[in-house]
Amino acid sequence: MSTMSSLDRTVRVVRMQLINRQTYIWVPLLILGGSLALTIVIWTMIPYDGPKYGGASQAPLWYFFAVGIQALTLSFPFSQAMSVTRREFYLGTLLTALATSFILAAIFVFGGLLETATGGWGLNGYYFKLDWIWQQGPAAAGLFYLVAAMLFFVIGFTAATVYKRFGTLWLTIVLLAVAVLMVAAAWTITMTQSWPAVWTAVTTAGPLSAALWGLAVLVVLGVASFLVIRRATP
pTM reported for the whole predicted model: 0.89
Scanning 130-167, the segments in alpha helix (DSSP H) are 131-134, 138-166
Q: For a pLDDT cut of 70, what percent of the chain falls above it?
A: 98
- For residue 4, the model assigns a pLDDT of 52
Q: Could you report the per-residue pLDDT of 32-84, keeping only the tens digit for each?
A: 999 999 999 999 998 888 899 988 888 888 899 999 998 888 888 877 777 78
- For 59, the enclosing helix (H) or strand (E) is helix 59-73
Please tell me the distance from the alpha carbon of residue 133 to that of residue 200, in angstroms, as a whole number: 15
What's the average model confidence in pLDDT over 23-36? 90
Which residue segment(s) compose the domain that 154 sits in?
2-229
The answer to the question of residue 234 being in a domain is no
Instruction: Report if residue 210 sits inside a domain.
Output: yes
Residue 69 included in any domain: yes
Question: Could you give the CA distance from residue 49 to residue 33 in angstroms, rounded to a whole number?
Answer: 24
Buried b / exposed e along 93-124 (16+ C-beta atoms within 10 A): bbebbeebbebbbebbbebbeebeeeebbebe
Total structural domains within the chain: 1
pLDDT digit string, tens, across residues 190-225: 999 888 888 888 778 889 999 999 999 999 999 999
